[in-house]
Amino acid sequence: MHLARFPRVRLAHLPTPLEPLPRLSEALGVEIWIKRDDCTGLAGGGNKTRKLEFLLGDAMEQGADTLVTQGAVQSNHVRQTAAAAAAHGFACEVILEERTGSKAIDYTHNGNVLMDRLFGAGIRTVPGGSDMTAELEKTAAMVRARGGKPYVIPGGGSNAIGALGYVDCAREIVVQADELDMQVDRIVTATGSAGTHAGLVAGLAVMGADIPVLGVGVRAPKAKQEESVLKLARETAALLGRPDAVEAGMVVADCDYVGEGYGLIDDAVIEALKLAARTDAIVLDPVYTGKAMKGLITLARAGRFENETVVFLHTGGAQGLFGYQGEIEGAL
């Protein structure tokens, strides 16, 4: 795949560990390993750091001086973008969407929001349901008006350039599995803005690795999520020079575990957080990995992964736990 031909700024601690989860495996009756992309390092880590390596490389090549991006109030992507900007001398302007409608003080001021401010990002908040593409352009226009040169990053860093970070992660998983003489039967990950899921699918397809990826949805219905992932996976494969590598059947999303909506947690999510923490001391987040683990637990108990070795991709986000203190604390 020769990713060195793409501009890149090294931000992450790579390779991230691939580790067994023996106690969770015993509890669920399935062999589960974890790919620790919560350990990428930047601002506490998370999956967006891999994407930002390629996005910042492109921004520098274009001569930008300001990163502009958006996300929900407790966005992990925004936190990591603000940190990457600070570390490399960019200004950073972000738009936070009140997607969940929560006005709780811990949600609006703690967790990722506190860290965004710590890294010096300029923050503008908009109501849930806003046209975020239009809001990005509005902020970019403001940057241009003051003489800056903006580089606009979509929510989640999810375009073909950002997805290259998960092409690289796919390669990393295969190399690590080979070193361990381990056959990976399935990768399970949260799927939201589509870049992580799409990058994995594209990377595995271009390598011919034949490892299925199950994306557990955190927001959109199944048909819409699969459409978004497939489109981006094909764009990413085309960027790699293999436009026909990704077939529709390679993209699978299970969106039965979204619950009441994006960023809204339920008892099953809290139980998933507790089980991961109290078996192998893995700290998940309430929005992405908590819902992905909720799905994995339910499917494992239903016999879906019988005789398989499953790799759970931990995309980070534990910093968001502090934005949900009021909802989680009483259940512990």
Residues that are catalytic: 75
Reading phi first (left if > 0) and then psi (alpha if -120 to 50, else beta), residue 289 is in alpha
- Whether residue 255 contacts residue 223, with contact meaning beta carbons closer than 8 Å, is answered with no
- Beta bridge partners, 32, equal 310
Q: Is the dihedral of CA 154, 156, 162, 164 positive or negative?
A: negative
Go through the chain and tell me how many residues it has: 332
Report the distance separating Cα 251 and Cα 229, nearest Å. 7
- Whether residue 64 contacts residue 37, with contact meaning beta carbons closer than 8 Å, is answered with no
Instruction: Count Cβ neighbours within 10 Å for each residue of 194-231 and write b for 16 or more, e otherwise.
Output: bbbbbbbbbbbbbbebebbbbbbbbbbeeeebbbbbbe
Strands 31-36 and 122-127: unpaired
